[in-house]
Structure 1
């Protein structure tokens, strides 16, 4: 596989958050691709429980300062950066006082989802795309991990598809068995503000775990399975649409399997 630019977007990555199937794979994959000679960037939310001093985060003034409108409110976008110690890969953090200052990730101390997780997801996904534009860094592949990134595919396809930075980018979405009970705010579909109106977001009229993953699949170019135990319905949602699907692979096979998978979707586009 020729050298490519690969953008990883994840809701959690080690060592900044505790190890989990998502956070581990979200560090392992970029590390493997970096070792294989590809150019890699990573984005994640700057949750308030991340220790900035320990991990040496610092603000990137030239990338900060933009305001994103979410639910008719201006929300300042702050960008911070650090490097993974073992690989020196740059990690960009999407930050905002309203959404990410609290000392928790997605649930409160009772285990309940935060009421504004819908807006946090929208802000995060838009913030990633706006920041990559500002960087002027054109990714060949964008690989999203975790349901908090589920709005990234639809934003890319509906609001950023004609942007020169993203016009050739292919979107890969990873499925995990990190299901939550209940749903995000039922107003989420109205808050997305797509260029094509709301019909394409009918899937998340009830934004529960399954529907968030389904809408991500519907606007992705390919799907991978990050862990065992992922819903067969979600896998079928991808294959029924003719999307390439890479199931769980072993640690030993991961580098080659993912490089071949990325190459497959990039070649399909060039042939088409």
Structure 2
């Protein structure tokens, strides 16, 4: 099986967020399962500058995008068992940043178009193209559009992963033909339209063969308006092909025992190095060097859905606790202004860096004691996994991937790997922060065990790779590895007869001649109540099926007895007219155990007279 992973960013080449971490780790994990894996992404300026000498030039072609005819160069790089293809166009990608330009729609429209048209030059014809977010959302659409005219594209299946549904690729209707080169029919039938706008992500979800979200909880949340940003109806409509696969992290890259950014390395069994990293972090951030004071850390983009409003509401209450606080990130100006002001209010106890620095972020993960993520929504989240990997206990809101990865601490049985709260409420957040700080101060041994459980968690990509491999097989119809069939145990008992098999077809056990004939169960048996057509066969392999004889009356039905109303073929099982009912708890008289007689003979008049005489004596 061949998989082409299309993404707009991937570590170590280029990164702005969690998508790059996923794109840099998942393909290698899937390739380790024996799948041919390739990744295609734009050739950005920073990629050319850092990896230009390693790139191998393959070919070039011209890609038609509406009325434009655009140059596209193709480069290749082999790394960790994965082939990376880079699509070059300096007009679109030779820029300092990855996103944030007025022509982003045109830039990634070109990228999606080039992925499809450059396939013949890659010498890698995929069975599946795995797309990610709106930047690659046009790929399934172009495949279907081109597949009408070229049969070779019809064999390719597509998977779309939603990393954050908030970003959907929305534009005015005029761009369909002029910018993307699509027929207006995509607008007329509503495929590419959503609330009066062109919506690339919506069209891709409808056209792709499978849709995945980056955690099971997020996949369920996308069906509700609070999380889906207007796309809940589309997600419910496509629920049959939606699944959630939890992301992982690179366990080798994020390893406190080998991390080059740490002052001292450490393991779960020997945490002494973490104390040294804490002291170094306090010096770096100009905090008071207090080894026994817990450090509460926030490493995040400073945007609303990260739950920063909750921190603002109870910030002074947090700082009343015996705790120090560190914040690293950049984003909306309102949050940058707030944290810059907060630092001035608590010198020596509050430290802020309004940028993103990988070395500093790893120093924070290694040196902090608690990690705060009160997100309003969090599709998966990698920061909480990295924090746990470094023994920094997470405090999270139960949403998306945070709910799937952090289990609440329970002191009464000493379980869990973090602290959680469910409602988006600053009071609930403050409550669990107080719990965490209290555990650190008052129960050091339990807190250390909690750290060790965090570090013991398996957040590797192997599990996620297996889930994606199952999805690839389901959309392509290719079988997975053969599973050996377990033989049923037959010791001491014969295999049960198939449904509808007659007694003569069953292998009967040998019957001793001197053994008395066992009693068969008739309709008088209480075990047979409610089962009029089922006879329990006991040791009679040669007994024919009673219902198979058309001239044989049903048990208990006299020739002159009318059939029961509404149940023409069903005899009344209890309370026959000529047989008194037994009181509960009364033993069956021996004289009445004549039901064991073979019932192959018809009852004659003599039998009727004898029965009447017996009844009169009673």
Q: Residues 235 and 183 of structure 1: is their aligned pair in 2 closer, same or farther, counting only changes over 3 Å? A: closer
Match of 2:207 in 1: 219
- 3-state DSSP of counterpart to 1:194: coil
Match of 2:112 in 1: 125
Distance (whole Å) between structure 2 residues aligned to residue 17 and residue 149 of structure 1? 16
Distance (whole Å) between structure 2 residues aligned to residue 11 and residue 177 of structure 1? 14
Distance (whole Å) between structure 2 residues aligned to residue 135 and residue 93 of structure 1? 10
Match of 1:265 in 2: 475
Match of 1:111 in 2: none
Any gaps of 5 or more consecutive residues in structure 2? 249-459, 479-618
**Maintained 8 Å contact 1:82/1:91:** yes
Match of 1:170 in 2: 157
Match of 1:30 in 2: 27
**Deviation for aligned residue 1:154:** 0.3
Determine which of 96, 107, 116 is the counterpart of 1:103: 96
Q: How many residues align?
A: 253
Match of 1:193 in 2: 181
Match of 2:135 in 1: 148
Any gaps of 5 or more consecutive residues in structure 1? 108-113
CA RMSD, Structure 1 to Structure 2 (Å): 2.9
Distance (whole Å) between structure 2 residues aligned to residue 139 and residue 117 of structure 1? 27
TM-score, length-scaled by structure 2: 0.38
Residue 466 of structure 2 corresponds to residue 256 of structure 1: yes
**Maintained 8 Å contact 1:218/1:238:** no
Point out the more displaced range, 241-250 or 5-14: 241-250
Residue 67 of structure 2 corresponds to residue 72 of structure 1: yes
Match of 1:110 in 2: none
Distance (whole Å) between structure 2 residues aligned to residue 26 and residue 128 of structure 1? 16
Distance (whole Å) between structure 1 residues aligned to residue 22 and residue 185 of structure 2? 34
**Maintained 8 Å contact 1:223/1:238:** no
Higher RCO (C-alpha under 8 Å, 6+ residues apart): 1
**Maintained 8 Å contact 2:176/2:183:** no
**Deviation for aligned residue 1:117:** 1.1
Distance (whole Å) between structure 2 residues aligned to residue 130 and residue 182 of structure 1? 21
**Maintained 8 Å contact 1:10/1:149:** yes
TM-score, length-scaled by structure 1: 0.81
1:222-261 alignment runs, 5 A limit: 222-226=210-214, 231-232=222-223, 233=228, 234=231, 237-241=234-238, 243-249=240-246, 251=248, 252=460, 253-261=463-471
- 3-state DSSP of counterpart to 2:11: coil
Q: Residues 28 and 181 of structure 1: is their aligned pair in 2 closer, same or farther, counting only changes over 3 Å? A: closer
Deviations 1:104-160 (A, max 9, x none): 1111xxxxxx12111111110111111112334321111001210011110011113
Distance (whole Å) between structure 2 residues aligned to residue 161 and residue 31 of structure 1? 33
Higher strand share: 1
**Deviation for aligned residue 1:95:** 1.4
Distance (whole Å) between structure 2 residues aligned to residue 243 and residue 166 of structure 1? 24
Match of 1:203 in 2: 193
Determine which of 11, 14, 19 is the counterpart of 2:11: 14
Q: Residues 91 and 250 of structure 1: is their aligned pair in 2 closer, same or farther, counting only changes over 3 Å? A: closer
- 3-state DSSP of counterpart to 1:22: helix
- 3-state DSSP of counterpart to 2:154: coil
Query: Which is greater in Rg?
Result: 2
**Deviation for aligned residue 1:58:** 2.7
